[in-house]
Structure 1
Amino acid sequence: MQHDEFVGDVQHRLELASNGEAIRATRAVLTTLGERLQADEAADLAGPLPMEIDRFLHEADSGQIFDYDEFVSRVSQRAGVEPSDAAFYAKVVVDVVEDAVPDTELDDVTAQLPAEYDGIFELLEDESYY
């Protein structure tokens, strides 16, 4: 998947007005996810992503331990949206990532996260929101 396709998918699925908003949403989610994952897993997840997108995972201060509420709070602050929107942003961006990476890679990601994070992977099983 190329950068423009990735950003366009995020923009379309979140119904955002601009590519800039889609990039901000993507950066907010992937930076926060990268902070929560171990550095090697963040790097593995970043590998198949477009270079302009993978940097959000590479540049994150990986290996932090925080709960799902803190995850949503960080995404909310970074994206400049309400927490309820931030939770949906996380689901959508992770779903677009899922389109770009091998299935086994997301299995590795979910294995590193506690069950309370399962919500960000909900769209992977339910594509009916489109």
Structure 2
Amino acid sequence: MRWSELIEAVRESGQYATAAEAERVTRAVLSALGGQVVGDERVDLAGRLPAEAARVIADEVPVVRRLTAPEFVESVALRLDGATPATARWDVSSVLTTLARAVDEELVDRLLNLLPPGYALLFGRAELAPAA
């Protein structure tokens, strides 16, 4: 997949009016994700994405404490001018759902195991609670 194909897929998924808007959102979400993902998962994710997307992820310094899913959405809202938590949730889901389709399921499973609970829905997956 090329960068332009990723942007077009995000544009379609998020129903953005222009490729420029989809690119702005994609960069913000990938940048935020880059701070959350570490180790082999970070390397594997970067290796399966277009070079431009890999650079956006790799340019972020990993955080000491991973954000919860709501905190992650808030962090993206702060990166996007005029965003609200609701619009940021849409943006995050549009990008991460597209990302999940661009890489294999095994990597998405590993990412979800690395991240705190609550991210599955952002990647377009149901999050099942363990049986009590």
* TM class by smaller structure: 0.7 to 0.9
Aligned to 2:8: 8
| Residue of structure 1 equivalent to 2:36 | 36
Contact 1:68 1:116 in 2 (8 A): yes
- 2:92 paired residue number: 90
Give yes or no for the alignment of 1:75 onto 2:58: no
After superposition, the Cα gap between the structure-2 partners of 1:124 and 1:117, relative to the gap in structure 1 and judged at 3 Å, is closer
Check the 8 A contact 2:69/2:117 in 1, yes or no: no
1:112 equivalent to 2:114? Answer: yes
Q: Is the 8 A contact 1:90 1:120 kept in 2?
A: yes
Unpaired stretches in structure 1, ≥5 consecutive residues: 126-130
TM-score normalized by the length of structure 1: 0.85
The answer to whether the 8 Å contact 1:98/1:124 transfers is: no
Total equivalences in the alignment: 124
Q: Distance in 1 between matches of 2:118 and 2:100?
A: 19
1:128 alignment partner in structure 2: none
TM-score, normalisation: structure 2: 0.84
Instruction: List structure 1 runs of 4+ shifted beyond 6 angstroms.
Output: none
Equivalent residues of 1:32, 1:71 under 8 A apart: yes
Q: Which amino acid aligns with 1:34?
A: G
Secondary structure of 1:29's match?
A: helix
> 2 CA distance for matches of 1:64 and 1:47?
23
Partner amino acid, structure 2, of 1:77: L
Q: CA RMSD in A?
A: 1.6
Which structure has the bigger radius of gyration? 2
1: CA distance between counterparts of 2:56 and 2:64? 15
Cα distance, 1:30 vs structure 2: 1.1
Q: How many Å apart are 1:18 and its aligned residue? A: 1.7
* Aligned residue in 1 for 2:129: none
Aligned-residue offset at 1:73:
1.3
Cα deviation for residue 39 of structure 1 reads 4.4
Amino acid in structure 1 at the alignment position of 2:113: A
The share of aligned pairs that are identical, in percent, is 31
